[in-house]
Amino acid sequence: MSTSHLVNAKSTPKVKSKRKSTTIPKTTGLKKLAKTIKTNESLISSTASAPSPEKKAGQFLDREISQISFNWRVLAQAEDNNVPLLERLRYLCIASSNLDEFFEVRVASLLAHQGESTKLHPQLKATLERISIEAHRLVTRQYEVLNEDVLPQLSSQGVHLLRHNDRNPAQRAWVKAYFEREVRPLLTPIGLDPAHPFPQVVNKSLNFIVSLAGKDAFGRGTAIAIVKAPRVLPRVIRLPDELSPKGGASFCLLSSVIHAHIDDLFNGREVVAYSQFRVTRDSDMWVDEDEVKNLRVALQGELQGRQFGAAVRLEVAKNCPPNLSKFLLEQFNLHHSRLYEVNGPVNLARLSEIGELVNLPELRFTPFYANTSTPYTQPDVFAALRKQDILLHHPFQSFQTVIDFVRDASADPAVVAIKQTIYRTGMNSDLMEALISAAQAGKEVTVILELMARFDEEANINWSDRLQRAGAQVVYGVVGLKTHAKLALVIRREVGHQLRCYAHLGTGNYHPTTTKFYTDFGLLTANPTIASEVNEVFIHLTSLTKHKKFQHLWLAPFSFQNQLIRAIRNEARLARAGKPGRIIAKMNALLDESVIRALYAASNDGVKIELIVRGACALRPGVPGLSENISVRSIIGRFLEHSRIFYFRNDLAHDTYLSSADWMNRNLFRRIEVAFPILDKNLKKRVMEEGLMPYLKDNCNAWLLDEDGEYKLRKSRAKPYGAQQYLMDTLGQTDS
């Protein structure tokens, strides 16, 4: 196998913006891996065999519709009058952004399969039709909430988003001056003719199509022009305070500014009609590992290609003339069902900028401050970990403890090596700076950097360059398998010159921003066995050799699914023996059919199964004879629920695992993932009391899934109880 971390590439590396199949790439170097995975899958009982289409339809909910349903639940936050107004706008933007990614990744994948097939499979066709119907419904509702609810209420609170007809003469004069000064010089209208073909349109960019009458300067009747909005310009523009009502703030969108002055761009021509438009493109990338020699070089050369992947959706203004919509659909080779006519800005997610430009605390959530107190009383974190493990619950407890763990290690003369996986970490990161400092200080620093973390490739490439210049050893995991596990290891030379390992294992990314808004757990430990196994994972990923057998860790794509199904079956075995069986699991998505079948079987054996699944869920709960002992709920609140927790009663052993992995085929077989146990009894209790039980009690933000795939907001006459609010009150600080 050509390892991805080789630097000397003799052939031109290739990254293709083409959809890969869902199977493991079977290059020479991955044949053993594919064989291992096949062996693992064969260990699953006969209930894991592929069901007939009829059986599958009855047992499993539609993955794509379930994902759209999640965005309906996010949109419900924007409809909730109990949520502050600017937060409601933010939820509206989140739902729109989520839908963008759904098209960029999931719909793009389905359309790619359609394109590769000579004959469209009826089931795929039906899936695409269902997606189109549900997505159109969702988009229509988004703009209804925006136009009929959120914007009018914001206006009543002094926050005005002004369209051209809403602006008074003074405001129009300012906008015109702004257009002439800031916008017009950057615009390059393109009249289409054989010498001026339809331009390349960047993914999700703002553009305009214009229908023209009359002759151009050369006496020809060019009928259509395209205007691309420069990406360097802000999409939301705040008008001067003196042009707004006293104490208020007025805004206009760049799209509105261009709309109002589009006639000025075509001197001597009559603008007959025009519309803003935006195209969403396939944004996934894959590596041809038969040809690539250096993954970083390959990605650097091809990142821009993502902006011009195959089109999957076209958005136009609601009043766009049919002939212009048809013309655009033809240019992007899209079926009419991929057209979305919207009553407002096509770049809806950009409205989140309004919240960043308004200083009205009363329109936001009450400020929350994470608990920043040091969770140990020893002189340093290493002394504390020699006594006991430390469990951190973010964002209620500050992520700074983890940063300090790595920073202290980088400055500690006794530390000889630091190893870390990085999936997402952002453009600015104190933790990454600490790793660079450690390398510069002469410590052995090894970073498993996932370059294929979707939408974070550029940031990760930049960190890769800086780390390597500092002397760190950077590798990019295993080609074809994303390294998604969240691991850090510190090796110190201590008393007697013995080496001792300290580890951090987490459910979320080492990202300074998301750690403030995502709920995640992290474990700091000096447990010799767990720390040694973490080190084995690093050796496995850098050397590409077979890992040793683990006592504690579940490692995907090798043993994770087997261990998980074994734990589920153990609860079923205990239930059949007359003992109570119970499983509680929290995750982002539940889609793996083999795991779902194991849960169905356990349910039929009498195991009580309570699932907290934030997003897509293919399991159909509450069906007599299939899943009557299974309940599924989704929590949508102030923070993004991101932690993965797996609890098995196991005859009062109370096995509790945390993980970076959802119960999805991609996590179990196409990623490097780790699940790790909580061994300390007190910490197990904390995970239960903070990570699971509050969510089962939640009667404010809990949506219950029924057997038909419908989610209903849980209603209760009992005193309101929200899990996130409880955790903020219990773990966080209420003032600065």
Binding-site residue positions for ATP: 98, 518, 614, 642
State the pairing for strand pair 286-287/15-16.
antiparallel
Summarize the annotated binding site as residue ranges. 98, 424, 454, 518, 614, 642
Q: Which residue spans within 623-701 are E strands per DSSP?
A: 630-635, 640-641, 644-648, 655-659, 671-677
d(CA 694, CA 610): 13
The residues, any chain, with a CB within 8 Å of residue 557's CB and separated by 6 or more, are 24, 33, 36, 37, 40, 481, 668, 669, 670, 671, 672, 673
702 within 8 A of 711, measured Cβ to Cβ: no
Asked about 484 being catalytic, the answer comes back as yes
Q: Which of 704, 688, 698 is nearest to 726 (CA)?
A: 698
How far apart, in Å, do the first and last CA atoms of the chain sit?
53
439 within 8 A of 445, measured Cβ to Cβ: yes
For 589-624, letters b (16+ CB in 10 Å) and e give bbbbbbbbbbbbbbbebbbbbbbbbbbbbbbbbbbe
d(CA 87, CA 531): 41
The dihedrals phi and psi of 448, each to the nearest 5 degrees, come to -90, 100
Summarize the annotated binding site for Mg(2+) as residue ranges. 424, 454
Q: Which residue type, as a one-letter code, is found at position 221? A: G
For 370-405, letters b (16+ CB in 10 Å) and e give bbeeeebeeeebbebbeebbbbbbbbbbbbbbbbbb
Residue 596: enclosing H or E segment and its boundaries? helix 593-604
d(CA 627, CA 206): 47
Q: Which residue bears the tokens 């305070």?
A: 241
- Up-side HSE of residue 123: CA atoms within 13 Å toward CB? 8
User: What proportions of the chain, in percent to the nearest 5, are helix, strand and coil?
Assistant: 40, 20, 35
Please identify which of the residues 160, 393, 484, 504 carries the catalytic annotation: 484
Strand partners, 675: 554, 659
- CA–CA distance from 375 to each of 261, 388, 389, 404, 519 (Å)? 59, 11, 10, 12, 18
- CA–CA distance from 294 to each of 27, 456, 523, 581, 685 (Å)? 16, 18, 34, 49, 46
Q: Which residue type, as a one-letter code, is found at position 426? A: G
State the pairing for strand pair 444-449/473-475.
parallel
Residues marked active site are found at 484
